[in-house]
Amino acid sequence: MPAKSGTQFIIGILIYSVLYVSYSLILNWKFGGTIGKILVGLRVKSIDGSAIKLNQALRRSSVDFIFQMIQVMQFHALIKQGQIDILPDVSLSAMRASMYDQKNILTDSMFYVEIAWLFSEFISMQFNEKKRALHDFIAGTIVLTEFRRTKGPKALMWVIGLLFLTFFAGLSMSASDDTVGKIPFQSPLWSAKSPQEIRSMLTEHDIAPTNVNAFGQNILHVAAKTTDTRTFGVFLHAYPELINTSDFFGDSPGHIASRFSPEKLELMKNTGLMQKKINRFGEANIP
């Protein structure tokens, strides 16, 4: 069953990756821009101003496609090594967190390569007269203003953009603190008196303790900033095996405790299970 689940997961990721890249590839090729560009009056053209060809659209999306395929390879390796226990309940963010937790040189390198690529795109636009990003140079394209934008539509796009940012920021905050809304009874859980009570509540609401929110955090991550010190000790007794796991940002429960409660950090140290972990920003969980 795990092998079948793993295969299904990889097929799903492949389909997602192809759709992700195809969105910009096809729209740029057929319509000269993605929906956002079209709405604000921008068009992707060849450097001579003509419509772009398929091979240019392919080259323009080539780096994104390479990044997606490398991620699929990393997921496949993670599943093959048996690092994921219950595949049907695992999210993409949890898979990424698991990859980071393995301290694989490819995973570590790709994290910084993707960040460097993103920044290089913006930097390259500042140092050429036509504001071309790196993918424009790769494809021989340029982004042009097709029509004069009035203040009305431009202001409307800003408002819509801000609304989307507000919505997703709120969603992320709720995801990080209330386990994606799966626990409508927060108070009883965060004041549990025994490990059995904690396990019972999580099981009742079909919540995997290893992945409780969109950032790939486990129940100890959330308990480290939600509970009092006594109750955190109960959570720690319930799931000691989660003490060294990392979330999407490479934070272990120790990182969270060091920011919110030195007492909880001491509890984890006293277990003798805590290992030194470095997150994506170079911060250690043990000061």
Last residue within a domain, chosen from 149, 169, 197: 149
Burial class (CB in 10 A: 0-12, 13-18, 19+), 72: middle
Give the Cα-Cα-Cα angle 189, 193, 197 (nearest 5 degrees): 60
Query: What is 70-81 written as a DSSP string?
Result: HHHHHHHHHHHT
Do 130 and 215 fall into the same domain? no
- Which residue range is the domain that position 241 belongs to? 182-270
Do 187 and 77 fall into the same domain? no
Kindly state whether residue 193 falls inside one of the protein's structural domains: yes
**Does residue 45 carry a pLDDT above 50?**
yes
**Does residue 91 carry a pLDDT above 70?**
no
| pLDDT digit string, tens, across residues 14-38 | 888 899 899 999 999 999 988 888 8
Do 74 and 212 fall into the same domain? no
| pLDDT digit string, tens, across residues 214-237 | 677 889 998 888 888 999 999 999
In the prediction, which pLDDT does 72 show? 84
Q: Which two tokens stand for residue 158?
A: 């800003």
Name the H helices within 61-215.
62-80, 92-101, 105-126, 134-139, 151-177, 186-190, 195-204
Q: Which two tokens stand for residue 273?
A: 């299970």
Do 95 and 140 fall into the same domain? yes
| pLDDT digit string, tens, across residues 175-196 | 444 444 455 445 678 788 899 9
Contact 191, 232 (CB under 8 A): no
In the prediction, which pLDDT does 22 show? 92
What three-state secondary structure class fits 230? helix
Kindly state whether residue 170 falls inside one of the protein's structural domains: no
| pLDDT digit string, tens, across residues 68-79 | 898 888 777 766
| pLDDT digit string, tens, across residues 118-148 | 888 888 888 888 889 999 999 999 999 875 5
Do 123 and 190 fall into the same domain? no
Kindly state whether residue 98 falls inside one of the protein's structural domains: yes
Residue 88 pLDDT grade (very low, low, confident, very high; cuts 50, 70, 90): very low
**Does residue 117 carry a pLDDT above 60?**
yes
Q: How far apart are the first and last CA of the chain?
A: 42
Give the Cα-Cα-Cα angle 263, 179, 265 (nearest 5 degrees): 15
Residues 199-231: b if buried by 16+ CB within 10 A, e if exposed: eeebeeeebbbbbbbbbbbbbbbbbbbbbeeeb
Lowest mean pLDDT among 82-86, 235-239, 270-274: 82-86
Q: Which residue has the higher pLDDT, 40 or 114?
A: 114
Kindly state whether residue 240 falls inside one of the protein's structural domains: yes
Query: What is 104-119 written as a DSSP string?
Result: -HHHHHHHHHHHHHHH
Kindly state whether residue 129 falls inside one of the protein's structural domains: yes
Do 48 and 92 fall into the same domain? yes
Do 141 and 258 fall into the same domain? no
Mean pLDDT of the chain: 79
Cα 66 from Cα 161, distance rounded (Å): 28
Cα 100 from Cα 14, distance rounded (Å): 20
| pLDDT > 90: percent of the chain | 30
The helix (run of H) or strand (run of E) holding residue 7 is helix 2-31
Cα 284 from Cα 251, distance rounded (Å): 9
Do 89 and 228 fall into the same domain? no
Do 73 and 114 fall into the same domain? yes
Kindly state whether residue 159 falls inside one of the protein's structural domains: no
Under DSSP, the state recorded for 176 is: H
| pLDDT digit string, tens, across residues 50-64 | 999 999 999 999 999
Do 133 and 213 fall into the same domain? no
Burial class (CB in 10 A: 0-12, 13-18, 19+), 151: exposed
Do 135 and 18 fall into the same domain? yes
Give the CATH number of the domain where residue 207 resides.
Answer: 1.25.40.20
Domain count, the chain: 2
**Does residue 85 carry a pLDDT above 70?**
no
Do 129 and 225 fall into the same domain? no
